[in-house]
Amino acid sequence: MTTFTKLDDGDQPGIFVYPSHKLSKINDNVYSGFTEHMGRCIYGGLYDPSNPNMHLIDDNGFRIDVIEAFKELSVPVVRYPGGNFVATYHWLDGVGPRDQRPKRAELAWLGVETNEVGTDEFMKWCEVVGTEPYLALNFGTGTLDEALGWLEYCNSEQDTHYANLRRKHGREKPYNVKYWALGNECWGPWQVEQMTKEDYAKKAYQWAKALKMQDPSITLILCGENGVSHWDFHVLTQCLKPDVHALGGSATKSLIDMHSIHMYTAAKDPITNALAPRLAERSIEICAGLIDLARQVNQVPATVPAPTICFDEWNVWDPARAPGETGAEEQYTLSDALAVAVWLNVFVRQSKYIGMANIAQSVNVISPLMTHANGLVKQTTWWPLLLFSKYMRGSTVAAHVSCPTASGSEHAWLDASAAMGDDGWVSLVVVNVHPSETFDITVQGVQTSAAEVEKYVITGESWQATNTETDQAVKIHENKWGGKGPCSFAKMSMTMLRWKPSGGA
Ligand code: AHR
């Protein structure tokens, strides 16, 4: 949580950090990713065996540079295989000998799915990267039988058909996939088999029961909408019931562990665009309230852990500018980089409620990372993601901002969050979306015996600055600040300050 005081234009802004006031743990899974069979995400992104630059490709056909980038970001969990794609995906098409896998017409993005990459390849890729898989189930054309079969294939040690099929395909040990989504955006008119909230809730509850009967150790994620809709409240009240018969293996746990919500932001005006993710903050707060309310209505005992929010698709995306059917290859600007920084500030501020967040997506499709035949481009949005993932871990700490708002709006020019890592370092992020004013501000609460505070600034020459194969116009500038007196927060920038408090803060 960051509190805010609105000042008049010309008043001196202030930033206050309270490192001794830890508010809540930041779940590492906030820095998770998402890879969908869409555009060049899987084929050409993760997997690129026909690339003539063989030094970029490993023995599995995976892009080495992409693997290294995921490692650099320490991405903890990656969602797969969709997205809208999953509504017609039959996992059995994607296992076994490659030359026998069927090619299928793909209805979400109107392409052809070759099934060259399927479950075993994705699991292998996760192992190489050192990340955990998160699988979404087909709630469109898929059946519960198929879903149970997939769970058995991935997680079972028994002597049963699908576990044996996995063994036959060369994998003795189960993959132990923990995260499973009960469909994706089933409310959307674009879905193959769009559902009513009533139909979805009924089906999701029955599937949840069966899936947990088969493997009570899994984490099940309910398909919400944006956190504030009738759909969200209905599915929560229908599915967050007390599990008195221990159908999920234990009466002390919920059948549903997380509630998924999605949101993409974008606006033509660069300031509005950079600040648009603040809308997500209201969604998270309201959604957390709906979860509470559903539990109250259903008299779920307080001892049963409340589901957390799984924000498993978030990013800057304008589908009119970068349509899904043509691969959704957004070229991100400085304004978009600051929007991503504000998105991440929101997740840090709301860490109490967030169990996972997945940038959508992780390679080529609306992504901070773009591949080309000879290497990678790190888009503008890569840099805030990298700084947050490296340093904004541990616990959210209290912070306060006082500053003027953009004229004619209630939008504060500055957006901030603060965290204390398990190593005791404090990190403060301040995004300044003012187009022309650098704010020189005394930061209260910086107490350190170190002579200097680390300072990282992400900025560029103009709102429209982008990164290309030849030019990193937006990147991190490393610097130091004395820790006393005013600190400069440049116009159109994200600044991160880092220090180790002296004397227990
Ligand atoms: O991430 C792109 C698409 O956006 C996903 O497939 C879908 O879930 C959402 O509408």
Residue nearest to atom 2 of ligand 1 (CA): 83
Question: In this model, does residue 1 exceed pLDDT 60?
Answer: no
Q: For residue 104, what are the β-bridge partners?
A: 113
Q: Which atom of ligand 1 is nearest to the CA of 313?
A: 1
* Confidence band of 144 (pLDDT split at 50, 70, 90): very high
Which pLDDT score, from 0 to 100, does residue 221 have? 98
- Integer Cα distance of 4 and 395 in angstroms: 20
* Confidence band of 242 (pLDDT split at 50, 70, 90): confident
**Of 18 and 448, the one with more pLDDT:** 18
Instruction: Give 459-503 pLDDT, tens digit per residue.
Output: 999 999 999 999 999 999 999 999 889 999 999 999 999 999 986
**Of 247 and 495, the one with more pLDDT:** 495
| Widest distance between CA atoms in the chain | 73
- Integer Cα distance of 69 and 386 in angstroms: 10
Which pLDDT score, from 0 to 100, does residue 503 have? 67
Question: In this model, does residue 504 exceed pLDDT 60?
Answer: no
CB within 8 Å of 106: residues ≥ 6 apart = 37, 85, 88, 112, 113
Asked whether 312 lines ligand 1 (CB < 6 A), one says no
Unique residue bearing structure tokens 């001794």: 20
**Of 451 and 395, the one with more pLDDT:** 395
Q: How far is the CA of 83 from the centre of ligand 1 (A)?
A: 5
Contact 337, 368 (CB under 8 A): no
Which pLDDT score, from 0 to 100, does residue 429 have? 98
- Integer Cα distance of 17 and 498 in angstroms: 12
- What the chain holds in terms of domains, given with CATH numbers, is 2-21+399-499 (2.60.40.1180), 27-394 (3.20.20.80)
Q: Which of 146-155, 158-167, 252-261 has the lowest mean pLDDT?
A: 252-261
Q: Which atom of ligand 1 is nearest to the CA of 188?
A: 10
* Confidence band of 296 (pLDDT split at 50, 70, 90): very high
Instruction: Give 184-207 pLDDT, tens digit per residue.
Output: 999 999 999 999 999 999 999 999
- Integer Cα distance of 371 and 382 in angstroms: 13
CB within 8 Å of 131: residues ≥ 6 apart = 33, 70, 75, 76, 77, 78
Which pLDDT score, from 0 to 100, does residue 447 have? 85
Question: In this model, does residue 2 exceed pLDDT 80?
Answer: no
| Percent of the chain surpassing pLDDT 70 | 99
- The mean per-residue pLDDT over the stretch 422-439 comes to 96
- Provide φ and ψ at 322, rounded to 5°: -135, 80
Instruction: Give 25-77 pLDDT, tens digit per residue.
Output: 999 999 999 999 999 999 999 999 999 999 999 999 999 999 999 999 999 99
Contact 36, 80 (CB under 8 A): yes
- The mean per-residue pLDDT over the stretch 121-142 comes to 98
Q: Which of 374-378, 398-402, 475-479, 481-485 has the lowest mean pLDDT?
A: 481-485
Which pLDDT score, from 0 to 100, does residue 376 have? 97
Q: For residue 33, what are the β-bridge partners?
A: 78
Asked whether 361 lines ligand 1 (CB < 6 A), one says yes
Q: Which among 122, 130, 127 has a CA at the least distance from the CA of 45?
A: 122
Q: Which among 282, 310, 351 has a CA at the least distance from the CA of 180?
A: 310
Question: In this model, does residue 505 exceed pLDDT 50?
Answer: no
Which pLDDT score, from 0 to 100, does residue 88 have? 98
Residue nearest to atom 4 of ligand 1 (CA): 83
Mean pLDDT (the chain) is 96
Q: Which among 396, 481, 390, 483 has a CA at the least distance from the CA of 445?
A: 483
Asked whether 225 lines ligand 1 (CB < 6 A), one says no
Residue nearest to atom 8 of ligand 1 (CA): 83
What is the set of active-site residues?
Answer: 185, 313
- Integer Cα distance of 199 and 238 in angstroms: 11
Q: Which among 147, 154, 125, 136 has a CA at the least distance from the CA of 63?
A: 125
Q: Which two tokens stand for residue 264?
A: 């993409």
**CA distance readout (Å), 484 to 2, 295, 477:** 22, 48, 20
Does the predicted TM-score (pTM) go above 0.85? Answer: yes
Return the H-helix or E-strand segment holding 314.
Answer: strand 308-316
| Percent of the chain surpassing pLDDT 90 | 91
- The mean per-residue pLDDT over the stretch 388-407 comes to 95
Asked whether 82 lines ligand 1 (CB < 6 A), one says yes
- Integer Cα distance of 9 and 270 in angstroms: 21
- Integer Cα distance of 354 and 227 in angstroms: 12
Q: How far is the CA of 185 from the centre of ligand 1 (A)?
A: 8
Asked whether 360 lines ligand 1 (CB < 6 A), one says yes
Angle among Cα 188, 78, 117 to the nearest 5 degrees reads 85
Which pLDDT score, from 0 to 100, does residue 249 have? 77
Asked whether 84 lines ligand 1 (CB < 6 A), one says yes
Which pLDDT score, from 0 to 100, does residue 449 have? 80
